[in-house]
Chains A and B, each alone.
Chain A
Amino acid sequence: DGGITQSPKYLFRKEGQNVTLSCEQNLNHDAMYWYRQDPGQGLRLIYYSQIVNDFQKGDIAEGYSVSREKKESFPLTVTSAQKNPTAFYLCASSIAGVMNTEAFFGQGTRLTVV
């Protein structure tokens, strides 16, 4: 079945550590996105990529980094510079730009800083 796979589902990190969240899709989508979800704030865009080897900052990119070496993969690294990383992280993909096509979402990764 085609879809988006995020791993792990739950992740715990000690303060000061970097951690990488995985996102893989087999939908042959060009565009991929990372969103952060906090209670009462909806979804906020962290990074997005429209094509391999290219990505753009979203609204809250500080303290995060990404790479897009393969069409299928768009990992997100939460660095120690992110002041409040505890959140639910969602990866999404779409055929092209999000404006005129729907986005498909993974099941999310819940990151907790301990």
Chain B
Amino acid sequence: AQSVTQPDIHITVSEGASLELRCNYSYGATPYLFWYVQSPGQGLQLLLKYFSGDTLVQGIKGFEAEFKRSQSSFNLRKPSVHWSDAAEYFCAVGAIRGATNKLIFGTGTLLAVQP
């Protein structure tokens, strides 16, 4: 069955430090992978996506993610975190489940940024 795992529920980093958020997926075919960000009480905004091609994808706000098929991972990175990056981050895979095309989300990682 298709699934997404985000093993870190909550992460705290200092402003200016680097960041890596982990995402592992389970999917039989080539996955379509996404990272979304959600500010409190708001909807989700797309950070980046991977469909095919170059395994290192660049997104908005200085984020990047690397697709590693051998590890079934799609980790999100940022070299220097800003206080405004504090939010909840969701990894998702586009999948077919039965007759449904849909996004399957991980449970999210809540990022706190210390000054």
> A residues within 8 Å of B by Cβ?
4, 6, 31, 33, 35, 40-45, 48, 50, 56, 58, 88, 90, 92, 97-100, 102-108, 110
Contact = CB atoms under 8 A, between A and B. Distances in A.
Interface stretch (B64-72, B75-83, B99-107): B99-107
Contact of A56 (B100, B103, B108): B100
Interface residues of B, number: 26
A11 B4 CA distance: 31
Given A40-B107, A108-B43, A100 B32 contact: yes
Contacts of B45: 105
A105 B43 contact: yes
B100 A42 contact: no
A33 to B, nearest CB: 7
A58 B43 contact: no
15 contacts: A33-B102, A41-B107, A42-B107, A43-B44, A43-B105, A45-B102, A45-B103, A56-B99, A58-B100, A88-B41, A92-B44, A98-B103, A105-B45, A107-B43, A108-B42
A24 B101 CA distance: 21
Given A56-B99, A103-B103, A43 B42 contact: no
Contacts of A98: 94, 101-103
A35 B108 CA distance: 14
